[in-house]
Amino acid sequence: MHQALALDSSAYLAKVFLPWVQLRNRTAAARARLGNEFERMTAFNDDPAKGAEHVAVSIYRPMVADIFDPYLTLLVGTYQVLDGAFDSIEISNLGAGERGKAEQIAARIRRGGGPGELLHGYDPLVRNALSHVGSDGLIVEATEIVFRNIKRGNPPVVEACRWTHDELYHRTMAMMELVSSIDAAIEVFGVDCGDLLAEDPHLRGTVVDRTLDRERRAALRAEGQAVLEVIRANPDLGLQQKLAALGAYYAQQLAVNRMEPAKVAVNGDTKALACRVTSLPPIDAADEAAFRARVSELIRYCVEARRMYGDLAETFVAIEEANGTIVRSVVLRAASLDDYIGEDAGLVDLLQEAVIAQGGDLLRIQFDEAEIRAAEDGQLGLRYPRRGRPEN
């Protein structure tokens, strides 16, 4: 991992390591289930055959499928970076099954003179046999267990291997040790990268998005809002003084997000906040994709303004200007923005809730819900919140 980090630290952390940490976090439920199955082993103290069957079916099989496989992804992705062949963590994870991943890793280890027994616990024939336990894939005997990988056909072709109960336990423990070793390595690696993660605002954002759960992200937002509320609720400051103080933070956040600068004004009577952006490049308004992308950009100004100015405004307007003329504007209510910030709504929701003005016309963006769901169902990677479906 350190070799890959040395090639391009930001890219490796943002595209490989942190997305993989999110992938690992998603194995938490599987790890908890395995823990429960280990606790159940005492129930088979008087029946070794039943105990071996329990280990094979309820521990070894899910360990390979639910934990070993995604853990290999970190090694595959890292080697791909070193080889200049990395595409995305999704491709590293799903571009091959665990057998293909294991073979790639074993080959790299051999070439590098590493330990040949690192993947000793894994056997693809056993893994495949355990996928068909109900179809003659497993025969449990008094001291041994037979795994049969059956290739369907007429006649079916059977590949079999035989392990003693002790070998099954040994291989299972070897798998656990490998997973624990990777866990230990990434903890050390994470500490080594602490300064890099702290200094780069984009990496900090990736850490929050990729590695923290929803509750911890909410706690971080609350901490940030408490700092800003000191300014917003200060009775010794007038509205314009508050706007000036908060404006400096707003400008800084826009710069961090690589957004064009904006001028902010708030009407204290109507509690409407306007962000005026004058430096966005022109688009072809007849191009639906370009239009949606531009509206999405303007929505981001409203989102950041709501985060920064809080309850000083109830209505947020992002205005795109060119040569002193308003090109288009987007209006969103605070409640919609709060739902987005609180991860109870997504960009698709805000696009449909925004009131858009362009060329003297009021416009709305609408999506076919069935098409959106179908597209999301087939999309790999981050799953974003939607109304009624918050992301955890």
* Within a domain: 193: yes
Residue 198: the pLDDT is 87
Which of 211, 246, 264 is the last residue in one of the domains?
A: 211
25 and 150 in a single domain? The answer is yes
Output the domain CATH number for residue 294. Answer: 3.30.300
Are 246 and 122 members of one domain? Answer: no
Pair (202, 320) in one structural domain: no
Q: What is the pLDDT of residues 77-127, one digit of tens each?
A: 999 999 999 999 999 999 988 899 999 999 988 888 877 788 999 999 999
Percent of the chain with pLDDT over 70: 99
Distance CA 374, CA 377 (A): 5
Span 1-30, mean pLDDT?
A: 94
pLDDT of 230-276, one tens digit each? 999 999 999 999 999 999 999 999 999 999 999 999 998 999 999 99
109-123, 208-222, 271-285, range with the lowest pLDDT: 109-123
Same domain, 275 and 205: no
Q: Supply φ then ψ for residue 215, to 5 degrees.
A: -65, -40
pTM above 0.85, yes or no: no
Residues 204 and 242 in one domain: no
Query: Which domain range does residue 131 map to?
Result: 2-211
Q: Would 387 be classed as within a structural domain?
A: no
Q: Are residues 182 and 240 in the same domain?
A: no
Mean pLDDT over 152-166 rounds to 91
242 and 199, same domain (yes or no): no
pLDDT at 370: 86
What does the pLDDT look like over 354-372, one tens digit per residue? Answer: 999 998 899 999 888 888 8
Give the Cα-Cα-Cα angle 179, 182, 184 (nearest 5 degrees). Answer: 110
Which range, of 21-30, 359-368, 379-388, averages the lowest pLDDT?
379-388
Proportion of the chain above pLDDT 90, given as a percent: 77
Domain-embedded: residue 58: yes
Question: What is the C-alpha separation between 375 and 163, in angstroms, rounded?
Answer: 45
Instruction: Indicate whether 385 belongs to any domain.
Output: no
**CA dist 376 to 339, 353, 383, Å?**
20, 20, 8
Mean pLDDT, all residues of the chain: 92
Query: Do 270 and 356 belong to one domain?
Result: yes
Residue 390 belongs to some domain of the structure: no
Residues 14 and 154 in one domain: yes
**Alpha-carbon span 305 to 154, nearest angstrom:** 67
30 and 163 fall within a common domain: yes
Contacts of 31 (CB under 8 A, 6+ apart): 67
- pLDDT tens for each residue of 344-354: 999 999 999 99
Q: Assess whether pLDDT exceeds 60 at residue 5.
A: yes
| 313: three-class secondary structure by DSSP | coil
Q: Does 185 score more than 70 pLDDT?
A: yes
90 and 125 housed in the same domain: yes
pLDDT at 390: 55
The confidence score (pLDDT) of residue 391 equals 55
The answer to whether residue 22 sits within a structural domain is: yes
Where among 170, 196, 211 does a domain terminate? 211
pLDDT-based confidence at residue 392 (cuts at 50, 70, 90): very low
Lowest average pLDDT, out of 85-89, 109-113, 165-169, 303-307, goes to: 109-113
With respect to residue 121, please indicate whether it lies within any of the assigned structural domains. yes
Residue 383 within any structural domain of the chain: no
* Domain count within the chain: 2
Asked if 183 and 315 sit in the same domain, the reply is no
